[in-house]
Structure 1
Amino acid sequence: MPKDIMEREFSCVRDGLTIRGREFRPQGDQLPAVIISHGFGGSLKDLVHHCLMFASWGYAAYGFDFCGGSANGEGISDGESTDMTLLTECEDLHAVMNVVQELPYVDAHRLTLMGFSQGGLVSALAAAQRADEVESLILIYPAFCIPDDARRGALLMSSYDITDVPEFIDAGYMMLGKTFHETVVHMNPYTEITPFKGPVLLIHGTADEPVHPRYALKAKESYESGQCQLQLIQAAGHGFTEEQTAAVSVSIRQFLLGHKEILTIHVQITGSEVRKDFEAEKEIAIFFTGDCDSPYFTGRIIDGADDVQEYAGDQLVTMRADYMLEGMDYNGKKCQLHIVNQNVNGEWKPKVNTDSKALNFLNHSNMTAVLEGYPDGLTVRIFSAIP
């Protein structure tokens, strides 16, 4: 635990059940706040890393256990899983929101909700129900599939006859009550979420099997035009690797800063060569091609792109990608973009030079890049403030 971050327990009550969680916050007053909701069967312990991350950014961060929402007795809140539904979890989140908004060191007008999987859907519903109180929304592979799953008798890893729904539904490592099915089977989540008009960051893996990415695409269409940023993480499943989590964290930070994803570049590795190979140092060039498809620019990487990596022994010291794209800006004008991307103090800081008048602001922007690797390639997301 960093010395400048304070941690304490908090609790609140909903319908006689005690909800328990933990607060992580830096020193200061009028802090922006974030409340993070775990997924089906998860618990507070899944959220500690994320809470610490937000606290390091100056947020008061709150994680908690839903009543009856944690598997294998890992939860610290009251309640039974057979009494838990999407609606009771929304009520739990509302109760936590009430506590957080009343804290003297929190800016009640700067509240962000973030949720994973089922907690993502719950966060989206809660934000819509109290749209004027939530500043922004972050949804990580949200389970918008739950109502569809109920309609086919496959709710959360279960299998049952929808014409004769059992009183208790075996959902793998948790037992659910019939009420869970009844409260979602007729729900249209895409109409439920539309009252929220604020900024939304929606992150989903293309290889997510429990929640197909088409649900994320449909959710994006439901939100206010231009307010929802959707990031599809190539080859990511329902749960991210350590490397994917690190990249997603940078994207979240850029979203909270109000920066937009200006360029999304899909890179395919085509080859490599060793340019130096001494005992103490080595230099390797990675060759690549690819394309860019974004609202601001569409085009392709032209020949000659490389990423030069320098090593001291086995330790990677520097990486510097240098490449040119040609295509069209958002005004339909032909143009080129020259990009040099290198790591500066742990951040990827690209420099862009372009002959496009519409994109001239890129020549002077302080930008940040996110690199999301996948087999044989990576996605490069370049963020910038929009002038």
Structure 2
Amino acid sequence: MLKLLKKVTISAVLVVTTSTIYPALGVAADSYRNDKLSGAEQHPLNFKNEKQLVLADQDSQKRAVDAHIQLNYAEEPTAKQATKLNYNPVGWHNYKFKYKKANASIGKSWLFNRGHLIGYQFSGLNDEAKNLVPETAYLNTGALKKSNASNKKAMLYYERGLTKWLKQHKSSRLDYQVTPMYSGNELLPRQIRLSYVGYSSSGEKVKISLKSYREEDGNDSATVVYLNNDSSNAIINYADGTAKNTLHKKADLAAQNEAAEEASSAAASSSARASSEAASSAQASSEAEQSSIAAAQKAASEASASQAAAESSQAAANSAAASSAQAQAAQNQSAATQTYTGESQQIIGNSKSHIYHVPGQAGYYMNSSNAVYFNSEAEAQAAGYRKSLR
């Protein structure tokens, strides 16, 4: 666990080895490991009844490669941790970035920590270059500011858990390996791998579980966890350690809000125009239908008048025997003018409304005095008629 500290001297068995970067092997489908990253091979140290601390040499780019410790409860450091670190690991930059608090207000916090691979509570080391990498505050402490020891995406959760395990198993030993996982020659690790297993006093391996959903089975009975070196308020360039704040400034936020309001207003205006056009179209359609109805009513009125005239002619014919034949002829002629157009099964147009009807439509039967006959709908449309909507 990182704090800003001065270098202190402790008594411990310190073994420095040259580490080899091993490529990724097979990765289970449900693993949190990024299979494009590589790091030192994961294996527990051989059991010894004494404290072991193994820090791998830095690589050619001055990157920390691997840190490994084996200890029991009594071998944990007791010296108070210093308050400042002086060594800057390769790729080190720092930024005070904005972030959004739980109450939606905006705060500021440091993006990076000088992160210990093996925490001070186990190693007693502060300013050791082989044990330091740039870690986001979120990875290190579980929060963008201050800390959250219950966050299973952060190293603090596992360091607290392993400290508690040592206290509960004072006769046992903890084997703990922490490995930065790099992509090619990038200076900052994209992930940190934790590996831990217990040893009984007789040297038998003991499986350790800290009740985290990120725990996976590792080599030699060890439990492994892969943690991401990222932060929700930053875009990190892992190649050189630079970063950009993803939270916009107030002016940018205001501009974005204004643009969003304008877009919303434009969408509402467009919707209103569409509704208006639809209403106008509906009104035009209604007016056309009303015109058609009025024409039909007028035709019916004319038919009624014609029928009344025919009845009057028939009465005159009955009262005048001498002219009965002539009256009968007049009645037949009147009946002929009242023939319903539907009997012809043609395309019928109304000369007053310029609307045509096909067999089966409501207005197909009209007074023949208004009827115009067509052989096809195409012919009716060519004559300037439109099809009835009913």
TM class, shorter-chain normalised?
A: under 0.3
User: TM-score w.r.t. structure 2 length?
Assistant: 0.23
- Please identify which structure carries the higher strand content: 1
For CA contacts below 8 A with separation 6 or more, give which structure has more relative contact order: 2
Higher-helix-fraction structure? 2
TM-score for the superposition, normalised by structure 1: 0.23
